[in-house]
Amino acid sequence: MAWNTDLRWRLPLTCLLLQVAMVVLFGVFVRYDPEADARWGEEKRRRNISSDVENDFYYRYPSFQDVHVMIFVGFGFLMTFLQRYGFGAVGFNFLLAAFGIQWALLMQGWFHSFHGGYILLGVENLINADFCVGSVCVAFGAILGKVSPVQLLIMTLFQVTLFSVNEFILLNLLQVKDAGGSMTIHTFGAYFGLTVTWILYRPNLDQSKERQSSVYQSDLFAMIGTLFLWMYWPSFNSAVSNHGDAQHRAAINTYCSLAACVLTSVALSSALQKKGKLDMVHIQNATLAGGVAVGTAAEMMLTPYGSLLVGFICGIVSTLGFVYLTPFLESRLRIQDTCGIHNLHGMPGIIGGIVGAVTAACASTEVYGEEGLAQAFDFHGSKARWTPSTQGGFQAAGIFVSLAMALAGGTIVGIILKFPVWGQPADQNCFEDEVYWEVPKEPEHTVHLPEDSTLKPVAS
């Protein structure tokens, strides 16, 4: 089956329409948070704050920038591993994220920052918008190389919406804790993407098989993405935690989990290969599973030892997934998962939800102190009578809600994306930048010229 992949009017119109909508909606709804407003001086006096350093900007901006790098360079370059899809990986990720953050500011704003008819923006909103888009980047990994940018923008529109609803259910109705988003970002994003790719199943994708692999240079580009994700993940998991010990602890736990995950990923990668050689796919992906899996519990008293254990397990699970599960999903369940997001975000996301539920259920005043426990789980107001096991139960429920939302939402969105009008590539043209990009011609002779013969002889 072949579709028209000329996007000359569809892509520009989609972009302009969405962007005009954003401008209008921002005009109607979006203003500054008091901490970013010129009246901050008055606000300081009202709240009896003596120093500008108490502005949330200084608590969260460095983490925001790290998260921002993860979304645009991290996810973007991680997906450049394909030999002929580097432009699409980094360019479409750029496009969908740039749209997604705007729409997320609105959606999340209506749910969480709506005061007096206005969404009030501060640095925490920016972080949360990046987080929301992170789940779209995850889903993008499943369909990488098989969709058009128009499809990606439509998916982003719907996924951000559903993400925000799911997040609202989890954080506000179930009142779970999920600072690093094991459930809201990774579990939701992964199973959403897997459902979409399942609906978009391409029986003749093997016609593009030769391009669905890496070359030497593309694997190095992908390592840029891997490392920036890996290094900044402590910022990701701590970015929106409570000020003070919670942010501090979340960073430490994530650091530990990720370190352990590298060693078990390497161990399994070597052990599962006939000649004991390492596979770049595992190094690029499975090493990150430890960050996903402490996304919920990182801000809790997981202990450094507990974090190591989680990373230990996830490196193994994720690498096993790449070797055995991904081929099985493709051949038996017709789930074509380009980047193996099930191994990096799906299973580790669920593990992360479980770890969070167990860690919450095991919380005690001996460990947290009375005040610390109430602070960590917001056991006041409507939750004043909750116990750690109540919290653990709701945490567990959050996993299922996220899964259900992902499967239902992914199905609907997959069906929408299946209409043959969005400019998707033919099966034999998948994983190929030339479909949507002006690709530079290879120079006639890359062999460069002998040192001085071609350079103009020297005058003086």
Q: Counting contacts by CB under 8 A, is residue 380 touching a copy of itself? A: no
Binding test (CB under 8 A) with a copy of itself, winner from 114, 172, 203, 210: 210
Select from 167-175, 195-203, 237-245, 320-328 the region that touches a copy of itself (CB under 8 A): 237-245
CB of 251 to a copy of itself, least distance (A): 7
- Nearest to residue 345, comparing CAs of 200, 233, 203, 231? 233
Nearer to a copy of itself, 171 or 231 (CB): 231
In the β-sheet with 118-121, what is the strand arrangement from edge to edge? Answer: 30-32, 118-121, 114-115
Binding test (CB under 8 A) with a copy of itself, winner from 230, 379, 394, 431: 230
Q: Which residues pair with 120 in a beta bridge?
A: 31
Q: Which of residues 166-205 bind a copy of itself (CB under 8 A)?
A: none
Select from 31-39, 134-142, 182-190, 337-345 the region that touches a copy of itself (CB under 8 A): 31-39
Q: Counting contacts by CB under 8 A, is residue 244 touching a copy of itself? A: yes
Binding test (CB under 8 A) with a copy of itself, winner from 4, 172, 204, 331: 4
Distance CA 103, CA 98 (A): 9
Please count the residues of this chain forming the interface with a copy of itself, following the rule CB under 8 A: 166
Token reading at 21: 């909508």
In order, the DSSP letters of 47-98 are TT---GGGSHHHHHHHHHHHHHHIIIIIHHHHGGGSTT-HHHHHHHHHHHHH
In order, the DSSP letters of 339-361 are T-HIIIIIHHHHHHHHHHHHHHH
Q: Which of residues 305-344 bind a copy of itself (CB under 8 A)?
A: 305, 308-309, 312
Binding test (CB under 8 A) with a copy of itself, winner from 248, 324, 328, 380: 248
Instruction: Give the per-residue contact string, 73-102, with a copy of itself (x = CB under 8 A; - = no).
Output: x--xx--x--xx-xx--xx--xx--xx-xx
Length in residues, the chain: 460
Beta-carbon neighbour count of residue 158 at 10 Å? 18
Select from 173-181, 225-233, 389-397, 411-419 the region that touches a copy of itself (CB under 8 A): 225-233
Q: For 135-151, b where at least 16 C-beta lie within 10 A, e where not — what string?
A: bbbbbbbbbbbbbbbbb
Binding test (CB under 8 A) with a copy of itself, winner from 66, 167, 178, 337: 66
In order, the DSSP letters of 288-341 are GHHHHHTTTTTTSS--HHHHHHHHHHHHHHHHHIIIIIHHHHHHHS----TT-H
CB of 191 to a copy of itself, least distance (A): 27
Handedness of CA 91, 103, 148, 188 (dihedral sign): positive
CB of 36 to a copy of itself, least distance (A): 4
448 CB-near residues (< 8 Å, 6+ apart): none
CB of 325 to a copy of itself, least distance (A): 19
DSSP 32: E
The helix/strand/coil state of 41 is helix
Q: Counting contacts by CB under 8 A, is residue 361 touching a copy of itself? A: no
Nearer to a copy of itself, 76 or 340 (CB): 76
Q: Which of residues 251-290 bind a copy of itself (CB under 8 A)?
A: 251-252, 255-256, 258-264, 266-268, 270-271, 273-280, 283, 287
Q: Which of residues 401-460 bind a copy of itself (CB under 8 A)?
A: 426, 428-429, 432, 434-444, 446-449, 451, 454-460
Distance CA 183, CA 248 (A): 21
Degrees (nearest 5) of the Cα angle 343, 181, 127?
A: 125
Q: Counting contacts by CB under 8 A, is residue 386 touching a copy of itself? A: no
Q: Which of residues 136-165 bind a copy of itself (CB under 8 A)?
A: 149
